[in-house]
Amino acid sequence: MTDRPKRHDDDVIVCRCEDVTLGEIRRLISEGYHTIDEIKRISRAGMGQCQGRTCRHLIARELARALGVPQEEVEMPMFRPPTRPVLLSTIARGEGDE
């Protein structure tokens, strides 16, 4: 684990669905995870109920700050269906009415 000076707001929650803190995001960036997708796969940030709608731009902003680039240069994660979580029973039932 990389040594990183502790910051006063490290324990602030960024991803509320998966309880990921700002400190954890910063640690991952310092360890070389430099895209939202990479951070998502390691930490689960953005994989909860809201599918990243709350934390995606906060992580993008943190990446932009840490890497010293404008936010528009931070690559967005891959957007895949479904747009919201789906019940397993819906999947099991399949298409149609029965």
Chain residues in the site for other proteins (CB under 8 A): 9, 11-14, 16, 22, 51, 53-55, 57-58, 71-72, 76, 79-84, 86-87, 89-91, 93-97
Distance CA 63, CA 4 (A): 15
- Give the residue with the Cβ less far from other proteins, 3 or 98: 98
Tell me which residue has tokens 């954890």.
24
Tell me which residue has tokens 């967005």.
76
- Give the residue with the Cβ less far from other proteins, 3 or 81: 81
Q: Least distance from C-beta 42 to other proteins, angstroms? A: 20
Distance CA 90, CA 82 (A): 12
